[in-house]
Structure 1
Amino acid sequence: MYKILLVDDEQEIRFGLRNYFPWNNLGFAVIHDCENGQQALEFLKENPIDVVLTDIRMPVMDGIDLAREIKERKFPIQTIFLSGYKDFHYAQNALKYGVRDYIVKPGKYEEIEEVFTILKKDLDQEWNNNQSTTNSYSENITQTIKKYTEEHYAEVTLDDLSQLLKMSPNYISTFFKEKTGMNFSTYLAEIRMKKAAELLVDYHYKTYEISYLLGYNNPKSFTRMFKKYYGVSPREYRNQRAVSL
């Protein structure tokens, strides 16, 4: 449901629109109402809203000033005017401040339905585009982490990735787990163990040398991790490979 803030100095109008129009059928919900633009602006500072449906002529702050504030503050909000004044001057100001549409009071069902049906499609498209961009960005970050780790498996740390991505180590750790379902340390260990299996086939390297090449300063730690991953020690793995060859 997209969230609507209703702004009108007439309580009867607010009550009627909020309670008698079937917003949910169109994919919207009026979550709050205000009697002037100033109240609405204060509410918008603290609450995410998708659409402001506002009267034009109101005390304290009118709809034109509210639309201007929304535009100048770069709030990601669609503004629609609801007013009984068919005045070209108001319509011009509405366009200047990015107001999307203008519904004449008292607001016929068909007119409101048409305006908000079109708006729903546009908001859905915008959401899909943003989601696609977010997914693409997340995928790029994930692939960067993986590629850097594969290339620097012997010495890579979260601090190194922090410098590369300009993100905090904690954020990278949380982000990676969220996107891959795997802790970064587990992923790093997996890369190292796969590389260890490759190196063990090459008899030029002793087991302790492979340990250091993979970034393990203690060969016992390497042996313990390898056995945990493959179920056998590095020496046993090498012997098994020799027999199979």
Structure 2
Amino acid sequence: MWNLMVVEDEAIVRIGLRYMVNWESYGVYWKAEASNGEEALQIMESENIHIVMTDIRMPGMDGLELAKQIKQRNQAVQIIFLSSYDNFAYAQEAIRIGAVDYLHKPTMDEEEVAKTLITVVARLEQAPADDPHLSEEDRNNYYLSLLDKYTFPETRYHSALETNDFQTGYWLTVFRKRDDAVPDSEDADSLRFMSLQYLIDEYVSKDWGGVVFHRSFREIIWIAPGAAKSGQETYADRGKYLDSLRQKVFELLNIALISSASSLYPDIGQLPEAYMEALLQLPINEQSDNFIVRKSKAFVDKHLLEDVTLAKVAAEIHVSAGYLSRVFLKELGENFSDYVIRNKLEYAQKLLRETNKKVYEIAADIGYTNPHYFSKLFKERIGMTPLEYRNQ
């Protein structure tokens, strides 16, 4: 049985929830109740709680702050939020914290709660087989010790790395925030980093498995088995998979990541070598300029005289068009299409100044088959027609 604690300031709501669902039929035991966040944290210190179902709006400490503190102490605890307010901002913050679900109290029913419980229990059952006596901090420190030959333990406990999943070998990936030139120091940054780690852990645990941990809130390390759980993806597919993971992180947390993966290694004792290989391959200059944007800009510059579209560039650098559009605007403060148009018109101005080509020829040179559209666009952006620009 997995122990549940319900945190809700209204007693009648707690009673209603208690008898809404046959909890034990889903492998969940109603272990404790609390009327506020402070009381819930006290219970967490004395009871082994696996699932916390908490209201968001409560007197004193609200549910969001409670969840952040719980996750900081024990990342494995599963959080379910309750709210009387159908508010997207709450739902978005719940995702950042790593909540399993966000239930709307006025409309939720037994079927919806049961569906959430099935998801929660599945996540708990799929958790890595680490020593249950280790705290989250001790577990993290243990995995860190495996990355350095000088701290590599002589005796290893039975962890997730010693399961059958790693019989095909393993590979290691290092993730860093793109702007992570200096380690985070404030509590808020640390909590945000833990949200990032939780999201990566949740993403890879469904598809690939392995172990996810962090180093000093600066980087996240993922040790992955040689093959995905489905058996359809292997080490050879890692590039595409990492691209999709980084895209998901950007979409949900608005955090741009860089990453680097090691080769495939057969033995856990080679983790120090795998970690060093991944570190040495981390992109050098991506801390100050997003690599995806640089790649897309380079493609545009190379193909400027063609019909350059967002979809073409996204396909070339293996990201979705939506993701490229968002990261481009975030990094440059300019839409992708505006960037292309600006560069095409700058080249057109050069041709107008330095050649005798006719306007329709210049339009065709930079990929506009309709010279009237080109002239209209030129006037809108430059403030005069192409001929006026040439004759000034």
TM-score (norm 1): 0.51
Deviations 1:138-177 (A, max 9, x none): xxxxxxxxxxxxxxxxxxxxxxxxx96499xxxxxxxxxx
Q: 2:105 & 2:156 partners in 1: Cα distance?
A: 52
Q: 1:118 & 1:74 partners in 2: Cα distance?
A: 19
Tell me the residue number matched to 2:80.
80
The question of whether the paired residues in 1 share the 8 Å contact of 2:20 and 2:110 is answered with no
Aligned residue for 2:61, secondary structure, equals coil
State the AA in 2 paired with 1:87: N
Cα separation, partners in 2 of 1:24 and 1:93, compared to 1, 3 Å: same
Tell me the residue number matched to 1:68.
68
Alignment of 1:63-212 (within 5 A): 63-106=63-106, 107-126=108-127, 129-130=128-129, 165=155
Cα separation, partners in 2 of 1:20 and 1:87, compared to 1, 3 Å: closer
Q: 1:41 & 1:47 partners in 2: Cα distance?
A: 10
Aligned residue for 2:81, secondary structure, equals strand
1:54 and 2:54 equivalent? yes
Tell me the residue number matched to 2:139.
none
State the AA in 2 paired with 1:98: G
The question of whether the paired residues in 1 share the 8 Å contact of 2:52 and 2:80 is answered with yes
The question of whether the paired residues in 1 share the 8 Å contact of 2:21 and 2:114 is answered with no
* Identity %, equivalent residues: 37
Cα separation, partners in 2 of 1:164 and 1:15, compared to 1, 3 Å: same
Aligned-residue offset at 1:12: 0.4
Q: 1:38 & 1:49 partners in 2: Cα distance?
A: 15
Aligned residue for 1:5, secondary structure, equals strand
Cα separation, partners in 2 of 1:49 and 1:17, compared to 1, 3 Å: same
Tell me the residue number matched to 2:31.
31
Aligned residue for 2:122, secondary structure, equals helix
Q: 1:166 & 1:93 partners in 2: Cα distance?
A: 38
Q: 2:154 & 2:125 partners in 1: Cα distance?
A: 34
Aligned residue for 1:86, secondary structure, equals coil
State the AA in 2 paired with 1:55: D
Deviations 1:10-37 (A, max 9, x none): 1001112124421011110111100011
Aligned-residue offset at 1:125: 2.1
Q: 1:166 & 1:121 partners in 2: Cα distance?
A: 27
Q: 1:75 & 1:122 partners in 2: Cα distance?
A: 12
Cα separation, partners in 2 of 1:12 and 1:123, compared to 1, 3 Å: same
Q: 1:48 & 1:2 partners in 2: Cα distance?
A: 9
**Larger C-alpha radius of gyration, 1 or 2?**
1
The list of structure 1 runs, each at least 4 consecutive aligned residues, that deviate by more than 4 angstroms after superposition, is 163-167
Deviations 1:93-114 (A, max 9, x none): 1112111211111430110011
Q: 2:63 & 2:22 partners in 1: Cα distance?
A: 24
Cα separation, partners in 2 of 1:165 and 1:33, compared to 1, 3 Å: same
Aligned-residue offset at 1:91: 1.1
Q: 1:32 & 1:71 partners in 2: Cα distance?
A: 18
Aligned residue for 1:30, secondary structure, equals strand
Q: 1:40 & 1:92 partners in 2: Cα distance?
A: 23
Q: 1:165 & 1:88 partners in 2: Cα distance?
A: 48
Provide structure 2 residue ranges, at least 5 long, that are not aligned to the other structure.
Answer: 132-152, 158-392
State the AA in 1 paired with 2:26: L
Provide structure 1 residue ranges, at least 5 long, that are not aligned to the other structure.
Answer: 135-162, 168-245
